[in-house]
């Protein structure tokens, strides 16, 4: 089953706080993605892009533009669990 995102917030230092429908709350640190995936670097270099994300209608993918997205299962599995 693909986890669905109930709420998402862009915190300081390129950390996403994500709450899923099952109640799990994670912090996903984008700094490693920015350092290792060239297209993600624009999240740091383009003013305001990081905070300007969209959640798709199925609530299973976060997107910033045509090139940058993160599926919910990646956030669920690799995010640092808070709750």
Residuewise pLDDT in 10s, the chain (83 residues)? 899 999 999 999 999 999 999 999 999 999 999 999 999 999 999 999 999 999 999 999 999 999 999 999 999 999 999 99
- Alpha-carbon distance of 83 to 69, in angstroms, equals 24
Closest CA to 26 of 34, 15, 18, 36: 18
The pTM score is: 0.95
> What topology is assigned to 5-81 in CATH?
NE0471 N-terminal domain-like (3.30.2020)
């Amino acid at each position: 089953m693909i986890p669905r995102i109930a709420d998402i917030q862009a915190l300081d230092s390129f950390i996403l706080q994500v709450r899923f429908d099952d109640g799990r709350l994670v912090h996903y640190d984008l700094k490693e993605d920015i350092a290792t995936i060239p297209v993600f670097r624009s999240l740091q270099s383009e003013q305001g892009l990081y905070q300007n994300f969209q959640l798709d209608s199925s609530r299973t993918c976060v997107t910033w533009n045509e090139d940058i997205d993160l599926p919910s299962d990646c956030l669920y599995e690799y995010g640092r669990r808070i709750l």
